[in-house]
A and B are shown apart, each in its own frame.
Chain A
Amino acid sequence: MRAGDVIFVTGTLFTARDAAHRRMAHYLEEMKQLPFRFDGLPLYHCGPLVKKVNSEWSVLAAGPTTSMRMEPFEDVVIKNLGIRLIIGKGGMGERTRKTMKEFGAAYAVFTGGAAVLAAKHVKKVKHVEWLDLGVPEAVWVFEVEAFGPLVIGIDSDGNSLFEKVQLEAERRKAEIVKKFVS
């Protein structure tokens, strides 16, 4: 998978956002056993909108959240949980990119805000952990089918579309300022 490729995911993935990352990192640092084993499953930065019908959870909207907030914890998570695919939006930082390169992991983007589209591809809620963190912050395990389209934003060689766009924007800034700021 190269930066810019489009992929779809079928199978099982789990969600974790701010509070779950903080707690996972804390567990891993303290060498405490996590209550779940998701080794190798795609990790989705998402706090879904869900509804409980009878005793079953159903997912109404499940778009990505801004991945950058997970930057301080992601390297530890990748190293310890064997994550090979991270799904989110907005890109991630240098530390994560280095760790992803080292461990052969990639970062894929689901269109931010396209949450109903995302939910359509969630076939089932298989499990939920850490609900005490609140519904958006809990760790959800979804069965998904053709989940996507996902754009590879950072590939396992460390090529980043985000970095490319950002550098280009910085380069263009001088021209823009010259044209519009005088």
Chain B
Amino acid sequence: MNLEALVENVAVDLLRLASVRLPTDVKEAIRRAYNKERSRIGKAQLKAILDNIKIAEQMGIPICQDTGLISFYLKAGSQFRGLDKVEETLRRAVQRATVEIPLRPNAVDPFTQKNTNDNMGMRVPYIHWRIVSGDSLEVTAFPKGGGSENTSTLKMMEPSGGLRGLKEFVIESVIKAGGMPCPPTIIGVGVGGGPNVAMELAKLSLLQPIGKPNPNMAIAQLELELFEAVNRTGIGPMGLGGDSTALAVKVKYAHRHPASYPVAVAFQCWAARKATALIGSNGEVEYLTHKV
């Protein structure tokens, strides 16, 4: 098989894996939340979630009917052959996956309101590139539902407010979001850069494995504090009350302009669909998030 066809097949597989099977870290976090939940209604919600995860996996059907707006995050080795063909290949994979899995058509023209019916459109799928050294291509499929996207927040804060302002803003954002982003959620916080950078970092945070502490001690501490703080709000599963509001809080930062302190909060519903594979130029494929 040529490399182009391989990338296409792997991308279809990744979209299927992401849509149908949650990564182990997410499943474990939901199970932990279920065991700890003290609210009767909250626990019942988590039970339905766990049942749903199991049935979706057994039947090979997408976990949620909202199969998301599709994006790919790439770490591309500069020596990987045919980088110029990758975007085109990923677009073909999306069209195929939409029919084969199937995925719900979710790309709508913002002016005519017309659904393209194949999950393709202007800048959809969204493709995020990072060029690294080496000759392999790491592809992450990250189809994200609309409900949790809609509760994202961004604030250009006063630098004088510092970390305090950041914490308050995250807590406020979680309370304001209530049940709408389908809690328990993963909460991604991006700090610094400009507004676009902060939001990009918030979204990137959502791709971090849940159990793995941040290598930066100060940030690991901040993540833990925010995690405890938001889970004390009592919003709970589906906003019906309970202990489990967030499965994790992840933070990423960039240096900021002296005058600005941008903070972005991105929400990921419990159905945290993401799947990653590493494709070698020699045609070897390794799946990093799922056992296949």
Contacts and interface: CB of A to CB of B under 8 A. Distances in A.
A101 B225 CA distance: 41
Interface stretch (B42-50, B70-78, B128-136): B42-50
A16 B64 CA distance: 17
Contact of B228 (A60, A112, A151, A180): A180
B102 A176 contact: no
Interface residues on B, range: 35 or more
Contacts of A114: 48-49, 51-52
A115 B65 contact: yes
B233 interface: yes
Contacts of B171: 173, 176-177, 180-181
Contact of A181 (B113, B115, B168, B232): B168
B288 interface: no
B164 interface: yes
A48 interface: yes
A63 B64 contact: yes
Given A63-B65, A113-B182, A165-B234, A173 B241 contact: no
A52 to B, nearest CB: 10
Interface of A: 4, 6, 19, 46-49, 51, 60-63, 65-66, 68, 89-91, 109, 111-117, 119-120, 133-137, 149, 151, 153, 161-162, 164-166, 168-170, 172-173, 175-177, 179-182
B56 interface: yes
3 closest A-B pairs by CB: A134-B115, A112-B182, A61-B65
Contacts of B105: 134-136
Interface of B: 41, 44-45, 48-49, 51-52, 55-56, 59, 61-67, 102-106, 108, 113-115, 117, 145-147, 150, 164, 167-168, 171-172, 175, 178-180, 182, 225-226, 228-229, 232-241, 269-271
Nearest to A52: B102
Contact of B229 (A19, A48, A153, A176): A176
A4 B41 contact: yes
A119 B104 CA distance: 14
26 contacts: A19-B113, A46-B65, A61-B62, A66-B180, A90-B239, A91-B178, A111-B237, A113-B269, A113-B270, A115-B52, A115-B65, A116-B62, A134-B117, A162-B178, A162-B179, A165-B234, A165-B235, A165-B239, A169-B235, A170-B175, A173-B171, A173-B233, A177-B168, A180-B171, A181-B167, A181-B168
